[in-house]
Structure 1
């Protein structure tokens, strides 16, 4: 392991102690800086959805594109928004509303047969935000994937050498956030052949607080 749990416990504790109390519950996030890797090559980029062992202290918002029975199941699973083929068409004509929904929802799921239409009509809005839906088979129960995504984060470098990812909220137990952070580091370890040559530095901070170096 490139970073130990105690390293994160110490840094997260320091970051929280240095951050002023706010009128809202701040997110605790980590910044990971990489080196010695050519991000111009797509195969070197990280783009994955990671299930955090302790979640984020608050559920992520999940939207579902579906028809018929799957729509009913999605509503029963308490999806934050359920969109029909008619909604897809309407959103393609109302870009402002489409952008608002894309910004508010963390993850999308869609019945596989709807993916082409979503890509054609909403891809320009969802794609740059990393919100292209995860496909599920027609008539399948979306509840398992909705439940998983509620406790997940997306790690996406694009062509940058730095990525940021939330690991919890200020009121969570520090041990839990440290264990979430270790899972993020594992993504780097599993992605690259020599991760010790790739990982440059790691920082943690609250939303509006100062950054504290972990390594």
Structure 2
């Protein structure tokens, strides 16, 4: 009941909003939470801020499958748990770079038993024989290492450092929408806006040459317990 009362109030506040620049959208989003009336309690956790793009692409076409990654300038406000499949010098380098878990077949065996207590999986190319059979477990969870995402790489230490610094992956869904995190509501307006602009620029840079018509159709900013605010393009 409290949640529905909260959302009803917030929707009323945002119903007259028109698309606005990134800085203004961030400011409105933060002010929505801080401006709640006394009879509506504030959320008791630091909400995740996300951005969503509706793109004019056909994800069924291989050359219009928008996906990639980016190291956001201000991170995402969360310490990502990084697992690395490697051996020898690469294993030692991954551990030195801050990997939470690093190893080979013993980690694969744990995953086959259902363990997925990590946020990112990275693998050196010579470990794909071990990693390949894990696709049924890791694939549906978005955790399968991929060369295209940069999580299959000979430079596992660099990849670990990037994800620890706030690197995020994104991929367009079958409806042509890309949805990804850009920080926490506790971030300053400047840091959230900088992250959002970086993500917008990254998506713009991936426009396929075969995409016809308007590429970036709409962009929305939201938080975990908030209605969305449209960003002007």
TM range (shorter): 0.7 to 0.9
Task: Quote the Cα distance in structure 2 between the aligned partners of 1:187 and 1:211.
Answer: 21
Task: Answer with 199-208 or 80-89: which moved more.
Answer: 80-89
Give the structure 2 partner of residue 32 of structure 1.
53
Query: What is the alpha-carbon root mean square deviation over aligned residues?
Result: 2.2
Q: TM-score, normalised by structure 1?
A: 0.82
Give the structure 2 partner of residue 175 of structure 1.
190
Max radius of gyration: which structure? Answer: 2
Task: Quote the Cα distance in structure 1 between the aligned partners of 2:159 and 2:175.
Answer: 29
Q: Deviation per CA, 1:49-72, whole angstroms, max 9, x where unpaired?
A: 111111112332211112244333
Task: Quote the Cα distance in structure 2 between the aligned partners of 1:49 and 1:135.
Answer: 13
Matched, 1:153 2:168: yes
Task: Quote the Cα distance in structure 1 between the aligned partners of 2:23 and 2:90.
Answer: 42
Number of corresponding residues: 198
Asked whether the equivalents of residues 90 and 157 of structure 2 are also in contact (C-alpha less than 8 Å), the reply is no
Task: Quote the Cα distance in structure 2 between the aligned partners of 1:45 and 1:110.
Answer: 23
Q: Deviation per CA, 1:150-191, whole angstroms, max 9, x where unpaired?
A: 211111013221121111111112112112111221223222
Matched, 1:200 2:217: yes
Structure 2: runs of 5 or more not aligned: 1-19, 37-41, 146-150
Q: TM-score, normalised by structure 2?
A: 0.76
Structure 1: runs of 5 or more not aligned: 1-5
What SS class does the counterpart of residue 114 from structure 1 fall into? helix
Larger RCO, structures 1/2 (Cα 8 Å, 6+ apart) = 1
Task: Quote the Cα distance in structure 1 between the aligned partners of 2:89 and 2:134.
Answer: 23
Q: Deviation per CA, 1:105-149, whole angstroms, max 9, x where unpaired?
A: 222111211112211x20112223332222233xx6x33221112
Task: Quote the Cα distance in structure 1 between the aligned partners of 2:110 and 2:78.
Answer: 30
